[in-house]
Amino acid sequence: MTMLRGLYAAATALAAPVLDVWLARRLARGKEIAGRTGERKGRATQPRPAGKLIWFHGASVGECLSLLPLIENLAAHCNILITSGTVTSAALLAERLPAGVLHQFVPLDRRAWVNRFLDHWRPDGVVWAESELWPNLLGAIAARKIPAALVNGRLSDRAYDGWRKWPGFARETLAAFTLVLAQSEIDRARFAGLGAHDARVSGNIKLAARPLPVDEAALRALRNMIGDRPCWLAASIHPGEDYVAGAVHHELTPHHPGLLTVIVPRHPARGAEMAAVMAKAGLVSARRAAGEQITPAVQVYIADTMGELGLFYRAVPVVFLGKSLAVGGGQNPAEPAALGCALMLGPDMSNFRDIAAELLAMDAAVQIADGAGLAEAADILLQDPARRSALGAHARAMMARHQGAVAETLRHIAPLLQIG
Side by side, the strands of the sheet bearing 53-57 are: 102-105, 79-84, 53-57, 125-129, 148-153, 179-182, 199-201
Alpha-carbon gap, residue 356 to 348, rounded angstroms: 10
DSSP letters, 248-309, are HHHHHTTTSTT-EEEEEESSGGGHHHHHHHHHHTT--EEETTTT----TT--EEE---SS-H
Residue 135, φ and ψ in degrees, nearest 5: -60, -45
- For the whole model, what pTM was predicted? 0.75
Which tens digits make up the pLDDT trace of 82-107? Answer: 999 999 899 989 989 999 999 999 99
Catalytic annotation, pick one of 63, 132, 308, 376: 63
Which tens digits make up the pLDDT trace of 18-51? Answer: 999 999 999 999 999 999 999 999 999 999 999 9
pLDDT at residue 209, as a whole number: 76
Domains and CATH numbers, the chain: 7-204+403-417 (3.40.50.11720), 216-400 (3.40.50.2000)
- What is the rounded average pLDDT of the residues 175-196? 95
- What is the rounded average pLDDT of the residues 300-314? 96
Alpha-carbon gap, residue 74 to 76, rounded angstroms: 5
Q: What is the CA radius of gyration of the chain?
A: 22
Alpha-carbon gap, residue 201 to 180, rounded angstroms: 8
> Where does the pLDDT of residue 131 fall: very low under 50, low under 70, confident under 90, or very high at 90 and above?
confident
- Confirm whether 358 is a catalytic residue: no
Question: Is residue 231 classed as helix, strand or coil in its secondary structure?
Answer: strand
5 vs 44: which has the higher pLDDT: 44
